A and B are shown apart, each in its own frame.
Chain A
């Protein structure tokens, strides 16, 4: 998993981080990227099928929600 976002760890608190799907992978694991370029393998099975470019809310290595486009 990518490092913490400045002074604020993405898994130490009950907070999620918005990430963009860079590359949909096999077995429900996709490569995602944070705002500041941090990459991580993210399990996406809880948010259904994702496509490259989709925005998801990630917590502790798992996407728990999709961000809706305005």
Chain B
């Protein structure tokens, strides 16, 4: 079971990967409250996909189980998992708390 800090580290790294593709004036501010997608978000859909792909891969590798973030369940959440870093973290921890 990953800790909240471990999941944060994974998400932050995915956002750093996006920053690596951006210019100095386009860098994202990365933190637990970073808004990902939706109103006032920092990501466009290209960058969101990059974060999804990198986080899915890293969480799956770290937890030893396949984790899918983009399915009907994700869309049925009351708060979108992709609203901000905290929402995504909570959703990942929810998935990992359940039997594989």
Query: Is the pairing of A and B real?
Result: no
Interface residues of A (CB under 8 A from B): none
Interface residues of B (CB under 8 A from A): none
